Structure 1
Amino acid sequence: MSNASRFTQFSALAIGIAGALAFGQAHASGFQLRENSVKNLGRSQAGTAVANGDAAVVSNNPGAMGFIDQNTVQADVTVIDLTAKFDGSAHNALGMPVSGGNGGDPGDATPVPAIAAVFPMHGALEKLTLGASVSAPFGLKTEYDSDWVGRYNAVTSDVKTVDLTLSAAVKLDPRFSVGLGFIYEKADVTLSEMVDYGLIMASAGIPGAIPGTADGLAKVSGDSHGFGWVAGFEWRPTDRFAIGYSHRSEIDQDIKGDATFNAPASFAGTQPLFRQMAAQCMLAPAGNPCYAQLPTLLALGNGFVPTNASAALTTPSTDTLSLRYDFTDSFRLMGDVQRTDWHSLKSVDIHFENPYQAPSSEGFEWRDSTLVSLGAEWDINPAWTLRGGVAKDETPTHDDTRTPRLPDNDRTLLSVGVTWHATDALSIDAAYQHISIKSPSIDAFTSLGTELTGDFHGHADLFGVAAQYRF
């Protein structure tokens, strides 16, 4: 391949490098967090929409608040520890192997807090219950060594969402309650990866340029806020049987932020040459062959500099159906089916304020996923309650679009938990959950044509503690 043709191919790919970094990929690697209740954690998320006395129903199913008869305040924190190991290799678009190690363990122990409060009204408003909660429904944090073999795909991925939910429930009769909640959601995103400027320069025919020898860190960060709603009901057709259903809406986000490129001096020194070539081309007679390369000349000469960026995206809706049956006054069995509408994330289009960086579309093609869980609780005595659960959770990702930002696959959840009723007013919860992840395979390309292939092996451990006070 000639220098000119390689230059055209790879510099054209380079125009989209920021698109590969931007917010769409962050959300494609987004992670659904259900850890707003340690009680639910101990049951593998079974019974979330019919949880007796659990203030987390403010956001899980506001309709269930109607069956809470005391002012209730609770605080939960769950530490999520993802462990993963990569085994594979990478090569660039010239067929040359990429150097580097396996990236280390990308997961760190990350706390996820939540707080919720429920207040039943009295007197003329006794059928009304109000509630508020702060929780994190989506989040992700992975970080690899900056010199690992997949550094051109991902280094740091840090995505946080925080929801403020204000809910109200109306108990229409002693066995049926409906509720509606308003959600304000704040999102923060930080992503980084290395860019192979050596490959860009070698592809452009710059003398002495060698792929993999002139890396620079590219970083995107931004934030946004959006609004949504949650609605649900709980019906108790008998004293021992309860049915709960809730729907959480999609939330539209318009993320705005900054893209920065820490380009090495060797590349920055070539940019005046690209700008000069572009200027000469624009003065050339009409029909000059250089006009075919003009967009890439302008992009390489004026791109890879700090710029504002924006992207519109939508977090998915969820539907949850919960059942609970009290076999005795001290033993309960619960089950959940939750469907997450990931297909709303077909793609995200990223726009840059720098006119020399073309808009980029990041495709996802994620599929809807289903969680099925079964859990049980046993009141050993008035002071202690034991619980446990098992669940199967589908991943929305698939082999064609999976990235190392979240090496996810289908999961099996196993949980145990305990509640200590210290007094009539105060209780303390603790839970542990182990998540086994089916080994995901990776075959991911960067916008410069570098391919990362291999497999991840990993699991996650979750530890939760909570306190609840009723008055």
Structure 2
Amino acid sequence: MTKNNRTRPGFRPLAVAALAAAVLGALALSQQASAAGFQLKENDVKSMGRAYAGSQTAGDDAAVVSNNPAAMSALKGTQFQADITAINVSAKFSGGGTDALGRPLTGGNGGDAGDLIPVPAFDFVTQVGDRWHLGVGVHAPYGFKTEYDRDWVGRYQAVKSDIKVLDAVFSASYDVTDKFALGFSAIAQRTSAELTQAINFGTILALNPAVPPGLFLPQSADGYGRLKGDDWGYGWQVGAYWRLSDADTLAASYRSKINHTITGNAEFTVPAQVRGVFALNPLTAGLFTNTKGTADFDTPAYAELSYWHKVNDAFGLGADLGWTKWDSLQTLVVDYDNPAQPNSTEVFDYKNAWFVSFGGEYALSDQLSLRAGVAYDKTPTRDATRDPRVPDNTRKWLSLGLGYKPTANTEFNLGYSHLFVSDASINDTSPTGDHLVGKFSDKGDLFGVSGRFVF
């Protein structure tokens, strides 16, 4: 192979470099698209039992440190709360695909790409004087993990995606009047990502006229790519809290977008025969070599309204309305340190999305409470641009919860939610012309437990 390619003056290194840019760009794009397409609300088990209805207004919930700092106004004394939610996600693909020559792609359906993901949250709040509250919270606003069989039919789009986003929140609230409070939070956010996929080097070389016909074919020389990186970003949140009457409470919050520059390593496994072809020309010798890279992106702004009505001493009803400005995530420019690899710009075209929930709570006694709620959670993904890393679609929630207060200063909560997810269609083509067509059948179950302690 090496000898034949050395004698062929028609070898086109610039064409190979352009295709390499597309492949690497697609791998990096998946990092941002994945992080943007899966928002986590699971920092509050008590509210989860009501499908997050009244999350900022129902009271006796220290998670407002992270969700709306102004709502700390309703908390008395010093409180610590710990929540953990296990998210059990299932994502199963059915369909198939073709390579650049129109031949069926080998491999199975990838197994169940979902995983069991623990999501912890911690909040601490203390009352300072008659009008001030201060709080500190740690929670995960975004995150997910999908992993397919390494040789599955969609391996050229994605194999593993593991995104973790963790916030440290520092909050303060001030009671402007007895009925109205304002709050502010400073947010430090850490994002880490690991993403892998197969690379169809057989196609890259099969479509090059300088390579002898039949020496390489699509799917005959698979390689592998892995990206891993992280970054710290900083943002803010403001909130307002109104006691409209003895029975009605309203709250509003706005969270800023947070800028990130993900910095990390790109590692590639390249078959020896492919590396030999690339080495024949100095313009391609550096392609698909381990390098560093950066990509700028924003985690989106988020606004929420929360309402709670106390029907009587035992029964309350609430509603929440959330809006996420996903349309700030339109393009991604990837800058590679490797001088042989040109920058790439990708488009993923996310749209703004709404979350609406209704729920209630009934006190069976001073110690036991029952909760229930439903929610509608619109996906930001579009059918035309959805990829297997986040095979997400619009979700409907059904939630149940149980609260137990053994003493006036101690509370434990259990929560469960089932997510009914619409089938997510996939019609995606990789940079090497591998066409994946089918649908994902998704579902999710959330199990949570929390404890709140008042000092």
User: Which TM bucket (shorter chain)?
Assistant: over 0.9
Whole-Å Cα distance in 1 between the matches of residues 392 and 279 of structure 2? 43
Whole-Å Cα distance in 2 between the matches of residues 15 and 225 of structure 1? 27
**What is the identity, as a one-letter code, of the residue corresponding to 1:348?**
L
Whole-Å Cα distance in 1 between the matches of residues 274 and 408 of structure 2? 68
> Residue 11 of structure 1: CA displacement?
5.6
> Residue 215 of structure 1: CA displacement?
1.0
State the Cα deviation string for residues 372-402 of structure 1 (Å, max 9, x = none): 1001001110110110100001000011110
**What is the identity, as a one-letter code, of the residue corresponding to 1:147?**
D
Map residues 319-334 of structure 1 onto 2, 5 A cutoff. Answer: 319-334=303-318
Matching residue within 204, 211, 223 for 2:208: 204
State the Cα deviation string for residues 42-98 of structure 1 (Å, max 9, x = none): 111111221301111011110000110121101000011111110111112222221
Give the SS at the match of 2:289.
coil
Residue of structure 1 equivalent to 2:25: 19
> Residue 243 of structure 1: CA displacement?
0.4
Contact 1:242 1:324 in 2 (8 A): yes
> Residue 9 of structure 1: CA displacement?
5.8
Residue of structure 2 equivalent to 1:177: 181
Matching residue within 418, 425, 437 for 1:434: 418
Residue of structure 2 equivalent to 1:287: none
Residue of structure 2 equivalent to 1:396: 380
Moved more, 443-452 or 159-168: 443-452
Matching residue within 100, 103, 121 for 1:96: 103
State the Cα deviation string for residues 8-56 of structure 1 (Å, max 9, x = none): 766632332111111x322212210000000111111111221301111
Matching residue within 284, 296, 307 for 2:291: 307
Comparing both structures, which one devotes a greater share of its residues to helix?
1
| 1:401–1:5 CA distance, 2 compared to 1 (3 A) | farther
Give the SS at the match of 2:285.
helix
Whole-Å Cα distance in 2 between the matches of residues 382 and 459 of structure 1? 35
Whole-Å Cα distance in 2 between the matches of residues 10 and 88 of structure 1? 30
Please tell me whether residue 29 in structure 1 is matched to residue 13 in structure 2. no
Matching residue within 451, 455, 458 for 2:435: 451
Please tell me whether residue 64 in structure 1 is matched to residue 71 in structure 2. yes
State the Cα deviation string for residues 291-332 of structure 1 (Å, max 9, x = none): xxxxxxx2x322100011001100001110011000001100
Moved more, 148-157 or 36-45: 36-45
Whole-Å Cα distance in 2 between the matches of residues 100 and 13 of structure 1? 24
Matching residue within 140, 143, 153 for 1:139: 143
State the Cα deviation string for residues 231-276 of structure 1 (Å, max 9, x = none): 111101100000000000100001111111111112112122233x
> Residue 7 of structure 1: CA displacement?
8.2
How many residues are matched? Answer: 442
Residue of structure 2 equivalent to 1:118: 125
State the Cα deviation string for residues 344-399 of structure 1 (Å, max 9, x = none): 11111000001111111121211100001001001110110110100001000011
**What is the identity, as a one-letter code, of the residue corresponding to 2:116?**
A
RMSD across aligned positions (CA): 1.5
Whole-Å Cα distance in 2 between the matches of residues 354 and 365 of structure 1? 28
Whole-Å Cα distance in 1 between the matches of residues 442 and 10 of structure 2? 44
| 1:113–1:342 CA distance, 2 compared to 1 (3 A) | same
Matching residue within 255, 259, 274 for 1:267: 274
Please tell me whether residue 357 in structure 1 is matched to residue 363 in structure 2. no
Contact 1:61 1:246 in 2 (8 A): yes
Whole-Å Cα distance in 2 between the matches of residues 68 and 468 of structure 1? 12
Percent of aligned pairs sharing the same letter: 40
Unaligned stretches of 5+ in structure 1? 276-297
Matching residue within 83, 87, 101 for 2:94: 87
> Residue 5 of structure 1: CA displacement?
10
**What is the identity, as a one-letter code, of the residue corresponding to 1:178?**
L
Please tell me whether residue 239 in structure 1 is matched to residue 246 in structure 2. yes
Contact 1:8 1:204 in 2 (8 A): no
| 1:359–1:8 CA distance, 2 compared to 1 (3 A) | closer
Whole-Å Cα distance in 2 between the matches of residues 15 and 392 of structure 1? 39
Residue of structure 2 equivalent to 1:46: 53
**What is the identity, as a one-letter code, of the residue corresponding to 1:174?**
D
Whole-Å Cα distance in 1 between the matches of residues 298 and 341 of structure 2? 24
Please tell me whether residue 150 in structure 1 is matched to residue 144 in structure 2. no
TM-score (norm 2): 0.95
Give the SS at the match of 1:274.
coil
> Residue 445 of structure 1: CA displacement?
1.4
Contact 2:155 2:198 in 1 (8 A): yes
**What is the identity, as a one-letter code, of the residue corresponding to 1:249?**
S
Give the SS at the match of 2:364.
strand
Moved more, 193-202 or 141-150: 193-202
Moved more, 41-50 or 200-209: 200-209
TM-score (norm 1): 0.91
Contact 2:117 2:144 in 1 (8 A): no
**What is the identity, as a one-letter code, of the residue corresponding to 2:189?**
E
